Amino acid sequence: MADIPPRPEPFLQRTDPAAIDDLRARLRGTRWPDAPEDAGWSLGTDLTYLRELVAYWADEFDWSAREAALARLPRFRVGIGGLGIHFVHARAAATPAGTAPAMPLVLCHGWPDSFWRYSKVIPLLTDPGAHGADPADAFDVVVPDMPGYGYSDRPSGPPLDTVAVAGLWAELMSVLGYERFGTSGGDMGSHVSRYLALDHPDRVVAVHRTDAGVPVFTGDPADLTPEERAWFDEVTAWLAAEGGYGAMHRTKPQTAAFGLTDSPAGLAAWIVEKLLSWSDCGGDIERSFTKDEILTNVTLYWLTGTIGSSMRAYHANAAIPREQLTRRVDVPSGFSLFRGDVVRPVRAWLDRTANVARVTEPPRGGHFAPFEEPELYAEELRAFFRPYRAAVTG
């Protein structure tokens, strides 16, 4: 008997009210740490801000309204690789006669988020004509939650690295009937997109990324350009000042998971500090995210219990062989290096590691650009992928 292909099923999440009652009780019972006077954000999450956020979370935040808004996205679950994978599959509005069909595009998120990262930008990509752009630039958009994130299953055994996740997404696109497609990602999703292009170059027509990750170079340092060496020094300094979270995730993620899974205030502190540090908010987090937007992301982590499994992905990625990390991407590659992002690569490094077709530096936005600046991000994708649309049917 032939294997029966997996069949996506519509997904609708309705949270048990008892889970929200428990969350609010925990928030109201938070045991707060002390902090030095006027420390602000200099030592990590600001105590005054977090007290304000937690009070709002406990007494005013309307999760049911946010859940209903997310439910308006076309969401599904499907079994792939022995795991239930949650994803958004939003089909394009009709494209004008005489133009190429809508381009399939898989969007790959990172940490600390989920499909939430792309929730604002999806309608701008599927129906550009309704948002003042060219209808011919429409995409069929697929946004999966990585295993151990959001509403996808948590691996019961070893966590999956980004190479394995890329393999799952290639299979997901086959299940959805897309033989050729584009991909875009940031943070850990940048690596997933990279491995999609590396391991499936016959299927990925072009790859777009908002970063190039932390550089790995195994050659003679003398072969690096001066700007590359200066950038390596910048990355080293950034890791020393800001990389403590990553060291914990790579080495002892389970230790941190106990406290973060038990304390919603602790979970918020762990995530919110990164939303501030990595966004283009100028030190005022609510320039980039409203309280409701922040708490939607954090509440997704709380209700799904995925902070531990999401951190374990770093442990898996730390074991990826160096020969994988140094492979060059031959698929046409585009980079949008948003102003407020971290460890922004230099052009010489991009040319060394990828077949660069386009590099831009948008004037606003940071690490979470699809959420911070959805209009800018959507235009970056439209412009980059425009020359490759015909290739999806070639």
Q: Which residues are catalytic?
A: 187, 314, 367
Contacts 24+ apart (CB under 8 A), 342-346: 342/211, 342/238, 342/242, 342/277, 342/278, 342/366, 342/367, 343/211, 343/213, 343/214, 343/234, 343/235, 343/238, 344/211, 345/211, 345/212, 345/215, 345/231, 346/225, 346/227, 346/228, 346/230, 346/231
Query: Does residue 133 contact residue 162 with C-beta atoms inside 8 Å?
Result: no
Beta-carbon contacts of residue 52 (< 8 Å; ≥ 6 apart): none
Q: How far apart are CA 130 and CA 103, in angstroms?
A: 17
Q: How far apart are CA 334 and CA 384, in angstroms?
A: 7
Tracing tokens 């999450």 back to the chain, one arrives at: 45
Beta-bridge partner residues of 355: 332
